[in-house]
Amino acid sequence: MSFLRDSGGFMSSRESADFYDAEMLTVWWETKPEIIKKLLPPPLKPLDTPIAYAFVAHYPKTNFGVTYNEGALFLTCEFEGVEGGYCLAMPVTNDIAMAGGREVFGFPKKIANIYFKREKRDAEGWVERLGTRFFEFKAKLNGRPNSSEFIQLYLERTGGSTDPEMPFISYNYKHFPSPDGQYYDYNPRLVKQETVLSPSEIKLGSAEITLRSSNSDPWGEVEIVKTLAAVYLKGNNSMLRGSVVAEMEPKKFEPYSFLKWDIEI
């Protein structure tokens, strides 16, 4: 074993980062259009319906040797006609998972305490950092979403309930501060990345959600206008390689650059 290794890189030896028997519960809600418009960096564009979603997941086995829990907060959006989710936050419980997601794809990951439990039709979970529990949910997996409109929305986003694979597109801006304190090492890069979910179990239901804010994790800013549903998935996921699809000038990007850092204002 040595600090020096003969390797092509973190992702060079595998086509995807794979998660086995993963459990994930996602809560969907409608927010205000002005919130999504404010928080989405260009050239991402809002969809007609202002929808946000958050999840808590447990990954008991991966092909990169890490077991951990994860949470995330997304805004629905589109880029050049391709719908996806812009990630505002992605707390995790493992440092390797944090570094890999941040450095390879630009996911705004931070270390947090994350709880997730499912027993038959009941599920609950929360995410907490620095004394603030900023995401908390309780779900009833009874096949009855909070909003009857959600079923059609879900079918459109997943390509149909009988499809064995469900692709989801994530959009992140990848950037690193320069050592001289003048903006970044390179122009911030918009990364498009696809994750393919292959669930063996899907349960829909209703949820109660609580969002709170701290200076470092202002999840409460994504206001809940109407809760739509909870979706529980269990199965295998494959996180595919990403690609850079756009860049932004450093000065214009600066207001969007604080997702990964705890900066008191």
The pLDDT tens digits for 204-230 are 999 999 999 999 999 999 999 999 999
**Is 3 contained in some domain?**
no
**Is 4 contained in some domain?**
no
Number of domains in the chain: 1
Q: What pLDDT is stored for residue 158 in this prediction? A: 60
Instruction: Give the residue among 19, 34, 42 at the shortest CA–CA distance from 190.
Output: 42
Task: Supply the mean pLDDT for the chain.
Answer: 92
152: CATH: 2.40.400.10
**Is 169 contained in some domain?**
no
Instruction: Give the residue among 93, 102, 87 at the shortest CA–CA distance from 177.
Output: 102
Contact between 172 and 105 (Cβ < 8 Å): yes
**Is 98 contained in some domain?**
yes
Instruction: Give the residue among 6, 61, 28 at the shortest CA–CA distance from 205.
Output: 28
Q: Mean per-residue pLDDT for 23-46? A: 98
**Is 105 contained in some domain?**
yes
**Is 41 contained in some domain?**
yes
Q: pLDDT tens digits, residue range 98-138?
A: 999 999 999 999 999 999 999 999 999 999 999 999 999 99
Residue 45 has pLDDT above 60, yes or no: yes
**Is 95 contained in some domain?**
yes
C-alpha–C-alpha distance, residues 22 and 65, integer Å? 14
**Is 260 contained in some domain?**
no
Q: Higher pLDDT residue, 17 or 3? A: 17
Ramachandran sector of residue 26 (left: φ over 0; alpha: ψ -120 to 50; beta: rest): beta
Domain range for 127 is 16-162+198-235
What is the pTM for the complete model shown?
0.93
Q: Higher pLDDT residue, 182 or 194? A: 194
